[in-house]
């Protein structure tokens, strides 16, 4: 595609989740004429906060970490700097449900001897990790990596809950290098994951400590980013086809006024893999095939409001995760009001329970009533039979979380090679380099730089 000769490059970003919003804001800051197209009638994608009757409910992500520099910069860029709300200090405490009781994860190396998450022998093997030589196989799974470095018990308990807690997936199928690339990098660089972890400095520059949200919930960020784009953010505008036209791209849009077309110089596809595959298949069947082959997991979220004073165990901490060996029927729960007391009315507590994922297909297939009962029953087992819900709401997140299975990195490399043959188009989103909001925002920023520099006659950067 020849460089744009007159006026700013016109770039269309498709999808107004955090990846697309980040791409749109960064492309605009570079000087492009940006238009953002969103199929639904709201921005944010999986970031969704509902606020009613003094309850603030997060249906997708709940909080972010201080290392989320791209998100923090985006929030600053749209005037939300003072809106961060740090989680209560108790958020450091996290639990695992094991053998019928909540077991606290260690908060520092000194507390390891007191943690019953692993047996004494399991912790001894875990602590031998710095003396285990470098190794590993290509495309190693998360559980194989953990077994090799930390022992069998750590793989069965810690790897299992880490994967299901973050992605609803299964540790034996996900690829370590794609799921959590820092850990294998520390192994390569320092010879040990524990050494790498101990060298990390806490980020003193973040505008909050520990995990944080925004005062009106996380959806405040996408709403502010969309407001910054003003009338360049087009809702109810699904893009149904992409057509090459005179060295430009013609987008076919199903919008409020039927079918419409828009001509642009560059395109960023910040939509789920299957949706991107549909648009790309006529242009590159190989790219379409690769995108279609990325599996996704579905989740169910049940919000439960109750009076914790009646409970045997009162929520104090981030929440708990459930290893697959435990028959509780849920993936885990976040004690949302313990993190952010302003999320519910005075005297109430709020738990956000997660079910489903690739580990528990029944957790998405059953009816709302069955899943609500399952979530309440599990919470009663954990916190006491007297738990009496005053408010129960359920949300479904179908095909929400990409599963970077073994071979994912190889797939993404092949996809990027195919995309290199389509000038002026880039991909962004959770299926490329990670599902965290921070990874998504970074992928949007990278796509904006890539398309903008390509349109201005510079080299493709990825
Ligand atoms: C229940 C749940 C809990 C989570 N918890 C966390 C957490 O605690 N921390 C964390 O970091 N991450 C978490 N995540 C993951 C994170 O929320 C997602 O990875 C991230 O929001 C994905 O953003 P995205 O912009 O890539 O995609 P999406 O949010 O899927 O946005 C894509 C957008 O594209 C639109 N679209 C699709 N097709 C078209 C089309 N043809 N034309 C126009 N628009 C289209 C869609 O309507 C959607 O709005 C969670 C996710 C879920 C579901």
Q: What pLDDT was estimated at residue 204?
A: 73
| β-strand pairing of 33-37 with 10-14 | parallel
Helices 437-455 and 69-77: angle between axes, nearest 10 degrees: 70
Which run of H or E residues covers position 106?
Answer: none
CATH architecture of 118-199: Orthogonal Bundle (1.10)
Q: Distance between alpha carbon 313 and the CA centroid of its chain, in Å? A: 29
Q: Are 40 and 17 in contact (CB under 8 A)?
A: no
Start and end residues for every CATH 1.10.3110.10 domain found in the chain: 118-199
- The model's pTM is 0.95
80 in helix, strand or coil?
A: coil
Determine the topology of domain 10-46+217-294+405-455 in CATH.
FAD/NAD(P)-binding domain (3.50.50)
pLDDT of residue 460: 44
pLDDT at 256 over 80: no
pLDDT at 3 (0 to 100): 58
Query: Does the beta carbon of 318 lie inside 6 Å of ligand 1?
Result: no
pLDDT (tens digit per residue) in 318-373: 999 999 999 999 999 999 999 999 999 999 999 999 999 998 888 899 999 999 99
- Mean pLDDT over the full length of the chain: 94
Distance 313 CA to ligand 1 centre (A): 34
Inform me whether the pLDDT recorded for 67 exceeds 70. Answer: yes
- Check pocket membership of 251 for ligand 1, CB cut-off 6 A: no
Assigned token pair, 228: 């910054």
Sign of CA dihedral 17, 23, 25, 26: positive
Q: Ligand 1: distance of its center to the CA of 46 in Å?
A: 4
What confidence tier does 5 reach under pLDDT thresholds 50, 70, 90?
Answer: low
pLDDT class for 462, splitting at 50, 70, 90? very low
Q: Report the residue among 16, 38, 45, 433 best suited for mutation to probe ligand 1: largest number of ligand atoms under 8 A from its CB.
A: 45
Question: CATH 3.90.660.20 occupies which residues in the chain?
Answer: 295-402
Per-residue model confidence (pLDDT) at position 420: 94
More confident residue, 210 or 48: 48
If you ran DSSP here, which 8-state letter would residue 155 be given? I
Residue from 49, 61, 163, 446 whose mutation best tests the ligand 1 pocket (most atoms within 8 A of CB): 61
Alpha helices in 309-456 (DSSP H): 336-339, 362-365, 368-383, 408-419, 430-433, 437-455
Place 200 in a pLDDT band, splitting at 50, 70 and 90: confident
Q: Which helix (H) or strand (E) holds 221?
A: helix 220-229
Name the segment(s) of the chain with CATH classification 3.50.50.60: 10-46+217-294+405-455
Supply the CATH classification number for the domain 295-402: 3.90.660.20
444 C-beta closer than 6 A to ligand 1: no
């Amino acid at each position: 595609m020849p460089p744009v000769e007159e006026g700013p490059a016109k770039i269309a970003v498709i999808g107004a989740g955090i990846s697309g919003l980040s791409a749109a804001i960064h492309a605009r800051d570079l000087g492009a004429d940006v238009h953002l197209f969103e199929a639904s009638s709201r921005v944010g994608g999986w970031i969704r906060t509902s606020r009613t009757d003094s309850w603030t409910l997060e249906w997708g992500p709940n909080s972010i970490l201080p290392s989320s520099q791209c998100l923090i910069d985006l929030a600053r860029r749209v005037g939300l700097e003072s809106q961060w709300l740090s989680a209560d200090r108790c958020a450091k405490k996290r639990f695992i449900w094991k053998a019928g009781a909540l077991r606290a994860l260690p908060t520092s190396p000194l507390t390891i001897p007191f943690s019953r998450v692993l047996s004494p022998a399991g912790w001894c093997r875990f602590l031998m990790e710095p003396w285990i030589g470098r190794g590993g196989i290509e495309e190693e799974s998360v559980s194989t990596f953990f077994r090799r470095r930390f022992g069998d018990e750590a793989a069965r308990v810690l790897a299992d809950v880490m994967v299901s807690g973050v992605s609803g997936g299964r540790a034996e199928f996900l690829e370590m290098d794609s799921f959590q690339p820092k850990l294998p990098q520390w192994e390569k660089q320092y010879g040990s994951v524990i050494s790498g972890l101990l060298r990390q400095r806490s980020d003193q520059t973040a505008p909050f400590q520990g995990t944080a949200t925004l005062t009106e919930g996380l959806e405040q960020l996408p709403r502010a980013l969309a407001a910054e784009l003003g009338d360049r953010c087009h809702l109810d505008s699904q893009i149904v086809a992409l057509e090459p036209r005179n060295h430009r791209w013609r987008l076919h849009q199903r919008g409020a006024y039927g079918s419409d077309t828009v001509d642009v110089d560059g395109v960023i596809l910040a939509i789920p893999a299957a949706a991107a595959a549909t648009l790309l298949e006529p242009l590159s069947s190989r790219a379409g095939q690769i995108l279609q082959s990325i599996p996704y997991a579905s989740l169910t979220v049940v919000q439960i409001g109750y009076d914790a004073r009646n409970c045997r165990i009162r929520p104090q901490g981030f929440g708990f995760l459930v290893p697959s060996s435990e028959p509780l029927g849920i993936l885990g729960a976040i004690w949302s009001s313990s993190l952010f007391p302003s999320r519910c009315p005075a005297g109430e507590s709020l738990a956000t329970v997660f079910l489903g994922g690739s580990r528990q297909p029944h957790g998405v297939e059953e009816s709302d009533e069955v899943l609500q009962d399952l979530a309440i029953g599990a919470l009663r087992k954990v916190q006491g039979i007297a738990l009496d819900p005053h408010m129960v709401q359920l949300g479904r997140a179908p095909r929400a979380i990409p599963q970077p299975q073994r071979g994912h990195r190889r797939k993404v490399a092949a996809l990027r090679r195919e995309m290199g043959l389509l000038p002026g188009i880039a991909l962004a989103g959770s299926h490329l380099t990670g599902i965290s909001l921070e990874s998504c925002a970074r992928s949007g920023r990278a796509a904006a730089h890539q398309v903008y520099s390509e349109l201005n006659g510079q080299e493709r950067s990825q």
